[in-house]
Structure formats: C-alpha cells, structure tokens
Amino acid sequence: MDDGEPVEPNHHLQHRYPAESRYCAMCGGALKPRIVLPDRKRLKVCERCGFVEFVGPKAVAGCLVVAERRVLLLRRGNPPAIGKWTFPGGYIDLGETPAAAAMRETAEEVGLEVAIERVHGVYADPARPDAMVVVYLATAGPDARPSLSAEALEVAFFGADEIPWNELAFRTTRDALDDWASAMAAARSG
Ligand SMILES: [Zn+2]
C-alpha cells in the first residue's frame, strides 16, 4: 500500500474539528445532534449506525525543567504562537502516559533526558478550554545542555524575576509559570 507523501497538518483546518465534523468516523453516515442518555447531553450521533461522537479536550503534557532555581523555556519554532516562549511539551499520544509524553517532548524539542519529580499543576485556558495541560517539575543531569530543534528556535533558563511575561505563548504557559514563580518566592521568604 502506498501511503503517499508525508503531510503537514493545517492548523486552521484542525481547529475546526470537532465543531464542524459532519460524518461518522465508523461508517461515513451523516451525524445529527441528538440527546444522549444517561446525561441528556446534546451530541452528534450517526443516523446510520448510532455511533455517538464523544469528544473532549486534547491532552497535552510538558515539563518545567528546573536547574539552580531557573526554569528552561524555549522560543517556539512552529505555529501557533511561533516565536513566543513556552516550556517543552506537546500532545499526549493515544497509549502513552502523560509523564512519558512530557519526557518525550522534552527530549525531542530541547534534547534533554529529564527525570520527572512531581506534578506541578494541570492547566486550561478558561476562554478556550479545548486543551488541558499536565505540567511536571523535572530535572536534568548537572552536565546536561539543552539543544535547539525545529521546534525550539532558542532555549534559555530564566529565574523567577527574568521570565518574559509579555512574550509567552499561551495562557496556560503564563498560569503554570505564575504558579512556579510564586512557589519560588514563597520558598525564598519561608
Ligand atoms: Zn456511523
């Protein structure tokens, strides 16, 4: 079987899903809004086979890699928010744990093999909660040096008072770093 040329996702098109999906993923029949039991939620249901299109937020995982009270951020090389700063992370694959996804994305984006310490927090943008982001605190070895990739145009460590608040990629980036900076300030005064 010929799979053809690799394809590049069109983000504008991807973001129209699931709002504009029209056909059943199982049989290709037409989807129609119906009340679904037991919760009586209005969902799209296939008129032909009865398949219910349950959709939820996309799951994302990432790492705050901390060394000497500074956190690693990268300048994004891909849309959306190209050129803005965030921490390494990405979509969790089906069949992958959140922690494994966070470690894999960190290795792919900045070339660091990290150890997860614990969950930092779970974040979503209240204005557009179409993704939920699981953020871990992680550490790299003392001699580990981050590297650049197509996804990371620039990589740097920032102290709590050095974070580029006006150049962050997402609301979830800001909220996760805000919590981290608060925790650092509390640890310093406590
Ligand atoms: Zn169907």
The superfamily in CATH containing domain 58-189 is Nucleoside Triphosphate Pyrophosphohydrolase (3.90.79.10)
Q: What is the pTM of this model?
A: 0.90
pLDDT of residue 143: 80
Query: How far apart are the CA of 52 and the centre of ligand 1, in A?
Result: 8
pLDDT of residue 102: 98
pLDDT of residue 188: 82
All residues with CB under 5 Å from ion ligand 1: 24, 26-27, 29, 46, 48-49, 51
Mean pLDDT for each 10-residue chunk of the chain (190 residues)? Answer: 84 90 98 97 98 95 96 94 97 97 98 97 95 97 88 96 97 98 88
The CATH code for residues 11-53 is 2.20.70
Query: How far apart are the CA of 131 and the centre of ligand 1, in A?
Result: 26
Query: How far apart are the CA of 28 and the centre of ligand 1, in A?
Result: 6
pLDDT of residue 1: 54
The alpha carbon of residue 187 and the mean position of all alpha carbons in its chain are separated, in whole angstroms, by 27
pLDDT of residue 97: 98
pLDDT of residue 141: 82
Q: How far apart are CA 60 and CA 78, in angstroms?
A: 16
pLDDT of residue 15: 86
Query: How far apart are the CA of 50 and the centre of ligand 1, in A?
Result: 6
What does the DSSP assignment read for the chain? Answer: ----S-----HHHHTTTTTT--B-TTT-PBEEEEEETTTTEEEEEETTT--EE---PEEEEEEEEEETTEEEEEEE-SSSSTT-EE-SEEEPPTT--HHHHHHHHHHHHH---EEEEEEEEEE--TT--SEEEEEEEEEE-TT-----BTTEEEEEEEETTT--GGGBS-HHHHHHHHHHHHHHHHHHH-
Domain residue ranges of the chain, discontinuous segments joined by +: 11-53, 58-189
